[in-house]
Structure 1
Amino acid sequence: MNKNNNAITSLVLGILSIVIPIIGLILGIFGIIYANNSLNGTGNINEENKKYAVAGKVCSIVGICIQSVSIILVVSGFMLFFQI
């Protein structure tokens, strides 16, 4: 079975981007990069690896959104607390 390591890596990074705070933003960006590399590869990706790459891309996007909102909430909380 020919595995595409970029697809599995993007899935792992996408899941970690949801779970790990603050660093998850960086992991989500790398997850999208790996997913794009996997999907735009040589064209010999099988259906299972394509599913992994798409799931990794979706998880990475969700992780980036969650991390961005959490950072905005923390910054606005500090601004309101210290009355900046």
Structure 2
Amino acid sequence: MNEPVRSTSSLAIASLVSGILGWTVLPLIGSIVAIVTGHLARSELRREGDRLTGDGMAVAGLVLGYLALATLVIGILMVLVFFGGVAWLSSWQQ
């Protein structure tokens, strides 16, 4: 009759908060922390699933972290390609 009280995983909360910070204040650091803590939270929840909750928060943190990291990498590549093309065009015209 008495169900044990389930608490939310601290790592899942940290993953979600870091994922949000990865999109706002700390793009690179927040994304990496969100990914690491998200994976740690998922493994913790698999081990102690009867006592902890928060899988949705961990997954949301992982998604936010991976998307922010991918956006950052694509943005850097686009800048490099653009300025590389500009440098190539300027050297070609001389």
TM-score clears 0.5 = yes
RMSD over aligned Cα, in angstroms? 2.0
Match of 2:34 among 7, 12, 31: 31
Q: Which has the higher strand share?
A: 2
Structure 1 stretches lacking a partner, 5+ long: none
**By how many angstroms is 1:39 displaced?**
1.0
Tell me the TM-score normalized by structure 2: 0.71
Q: Give the number of equivalent residue pairs.
A: 80
**Larger Cα Rg: Structure 1 or Structure 2?**
2
Provide, for residues 5-57 of structure 1, a one-character-per-residue CA deviation record: whole Å limited to 9, x for no partner: 2111111211222335xx523321221110111111141321xx111111101
Query: Take 2:57 and 2:80, find their aligned partners in 1: how far apart are those partners?
Result: 34
The amino acid that maps onto 1:25 is L
**By how many angstroms is 1:64 displaced?**
1.1
**Structure showing greater relative contact order (alpha-carbon pairs closer than 8 Å, 6 or more residues apart):** 1
The amino acid that maps onto 2:75 is S
Question: Deviation above 3 Å: which 4+ runs of structure 1?
Answer: none
The amino acid that maps onto 1:71 is I
Query: Take 2:63 and 2:17, find their aligned partners in 1: how far apart are those partners?
Result: 12
Query: Take 2:38 and 2:21, find their aligned partners in 1: how far apart are those partners?
Result: 14
Structure 2 stretches lacking a partner, 5+ long: 1-5
